[in-house]
Every structure is written in structure tokens, then in C-alpha cells.
Amino acid sequence: MQAQNRKPVIPELSLHLKVGVIWQPCEKPAVQYLRDYFNQHGAIFRDYCIFDKDSNPSAEANSLTINDLNWWGIPKPDKVGDFMTMQLDLLLCLAAEKNFAVDYITALSKAKFKIGSSETDNSYFDLNIKIGQNKDAMYLAKQQIFYLAQLNNKTGK
């Protein structure tokens, strides 16, 4: 695996953004909240659902199941390749239960700016929002939008 050489770029909310969201089944209301928000801003919105071993998903192109992992737990390229190579302006991660597949997709995504929540300082996010004990996906989604708006105000955009 080749290391990525990237410089984060804070996206302007006023432009037609390409936004991607990584999420898990229990976070569907938060994904809809983000979809509605970014659609109001004219964004192109893509989401990618990562199912856990307890979920019984329907087969969809924008989802990853346990059957889509190789024996090392790495997502198969034919399932995640399109999403990871998409030239996204912004990648939001709502996944409360971090796992190797979530980290893998986040780390290798070609997104210009990545926002998520991790308890560790060593994450793949350009903006890591620590939400502590509040593991609610809707809360995280609202925090992501709030801080993105703050960054836009501070950078004069």
C-alpha cells in the first residue's frame, strides 16, 4: 500500500460540493439529515453504509457487508474502489463503531477534507470532533456541520 501525500482543503459550503458519508445502519436518520442539509446547498451527495456482523443488509452497490471483506478483514477493491477514489470535497464519517473497514476506507479516500470522531488523536480525520460519551450520530452530524461552518467563517470563505 502506497502512502498518500495530501494536503487537506477546507471546502466552501457555498460551492457545489461533492460530499461522501460513511455510516452504519443505526445511523440512517443522521445520514438523511446530512443529505437534506447538503442537498439544500446544491451538493452531490454519496453515502456508503458499512454493515456489522449482526446486520442483515440488502445487496446494494453503496454498502459493505462482512461478505465483502477478504480473510484479513480488508474490503475487496471491487466493493469500495469507486467510493474511495471518488474526488470528494468532503468526507464525513458517522460510524460510531470504528473498525478496520471504516479506518481503511477513511484513510484511503481521495477526499480533500475528512471529518469524523475518534477518541484518539491519531486518526485519519483532518478535523476530529471528540464527542466523549455522547455517541449519538445525529449529535455528531450536527457538530460536523457546525464546525465546518465555523471553519468557513474563519477562513473568510
In a domain, 3, yes or no: no
Q: What is the CATH number of the domain that holds 108?
A: 3.40.50
Confidence of residue 98 (pLDDT cuts 50, 70, 90): confident
Residue 5 included in any domain: no
The answer to whether position 50 is within a domain reads yes
| Sequence-distant (≥ 6) Cβ neighbours of residue 120 within 8 angstroms | none
Number of domains in the chain: 1
Q: Is residue 68 part of a domain?
A: yes
Determine, yes or no, domain membership for 132. Answer: yes
What was the pLDDT predicted at 145?
94
pLDDT of 122 > 80? The answer is no
The pLDDT value recorded for residue 115 is 95
In a domain, 99, yes or no: yes
Instruction: Specify if 2 maps to a domain.
Output: no
Residue 91: CB partners within 8 Å, gap ≥ 6?
19, 20, 21, 22, 106, 109, 111, 113, 114, 115
Structure confidence at residue 31 (pLDDT): 96
**Contact yes or no for 98/118 (Cβ under 8 A):** yes
Give the pLDDT confidence score for residue 53 in this predicted structure: 67
What are the angstrom distances between the C-alpha of 145 and each of 33, 59, 67? 10, 30, 33
Confidence of residue 61 (pLDDT cuts 50, 70, 90): low
Calculate mean pLDDT across residues 22-44. Answer: 93
| Residues spanned by the domain of 88 | 18-154
Among 59-73, 76-90, 111-125, the least confident range = 59-73
Q: Is residue 92 part of a domain?
A: yes
The structure's pTM equals: 0.88
Q: How far apart are CA 70 and CA 88, in angstroms?
A: 26
